[in-house]
């Protein structure tokens, strides 16, 4: 298990409104720009709570628009195969609303881009400009996501605050 190392003084300055992010942010920095093997090696060392938090933020920090939700959902499903871990992370925190939102996003992407033979069409931001129905569906999911994500972050922050030893090593 990898835990974020910090002094007691640093620990005392943690913002309780973003403690979950502060506990995985150093891990995301370790793997940013690294190859798949380096990322997998880190992920394999995380406990379930850390992995759940880490995977949510890996997705969440890329979702700043409906187009990004569309593209990154497909990317995590098809390219890096991380979608099951993202959904499992949300389930770990028992957030059914967010689980449903992710399932809805997945359903739209699968219906739009998975071919009958199981291969995939490339997701492009221009898809939303060219397909009004897709644009409306993704925008609706994105709006739900924006509304629901603060609640999940609150749940994660509460969990981390109650289970600090799973995330932080005081040095």
Q: What is the CATH classification number for the domain harbouring 123?
A: 1.20.1420.60
- Say if residue 160's pLDDT is above 90: yes
Residue 79: the pLDDT is 86
Residue 98: the pLDDT is 98
In the three-class reduction of DSSP (H, G, I as helix; E, B as strand; rest coil), residue 93 is classed as coil
Structural contact between residues 1 and 46, judged by C-beta atoms closer than 8 angstroms: yes
Which residue range forms the structural domain that includes residue 17? 4-170
In the three-class reduction of DSSP (H, G, I as helix; E, B as strand; rest coil), residue 114 is classed as strand
Residue 15: the pLDDT is 84
State the DSSP H helix or E strand holding residue 161, giving kind and residue range, or none if neither. helix 132-162
Q: How do beta strands 168-170 and 4-6 pair?
A: parallel
- Domains of the chain: total: 1
| Count of C-beta atoms within a 10 Å radius of residue 128 | 20
Report CA-CA distances (Å) from 161 to 50, 98, 165, 166: 13, 21, 9, 10
Residue 92: the pLDDT is 98
Residue 87: the pLDDT is 98
pTM for the whole thing?
A: 0.91
The better pLDDT of the pair 139, 14 is held by 139
Confidence band for 142, pLDDT divided at 50, 70 and 90: very high
What's the mean pLDDT in 54-71?
96
pLDDT averaged over every residue in the chain? 93
């Amino acid at each position: 298990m990898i835990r974020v190392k910090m002094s007691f003084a640093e620990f005392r300055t943690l913002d309780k409104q973003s403690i979950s992010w502060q506990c995985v942010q150093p891990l995301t920095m370790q793997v940013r720009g690294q190859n798949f093997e380096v990322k997998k090696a880190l992920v394999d060392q995380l406990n379930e709570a850390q992995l759940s938090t880490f995977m949510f933020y890996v997705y969440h920090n890329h979702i700043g628009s409906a187009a990004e939700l569309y593209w990154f959902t497909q990317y995590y499903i098809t390219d890096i195969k991380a979608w099951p871990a993202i959904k499992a992370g949300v389930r770990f925190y028992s957030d059914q609303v967010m689980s449903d939102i992710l399932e809805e996003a997945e359903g739209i992407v699968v219906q739009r881009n998975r071919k009958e033979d199981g291969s995939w069409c490339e997701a492009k931001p221009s898809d939303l400009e060219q397909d009004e129905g897709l644009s409306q569906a993704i925008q609706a999911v994105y709006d739900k996501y924006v509304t629901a994500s603060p609640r999940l972050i609150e749940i994660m922050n509460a969990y981390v605050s109650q289970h600090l030893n799973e995330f932080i090593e005081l040095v």
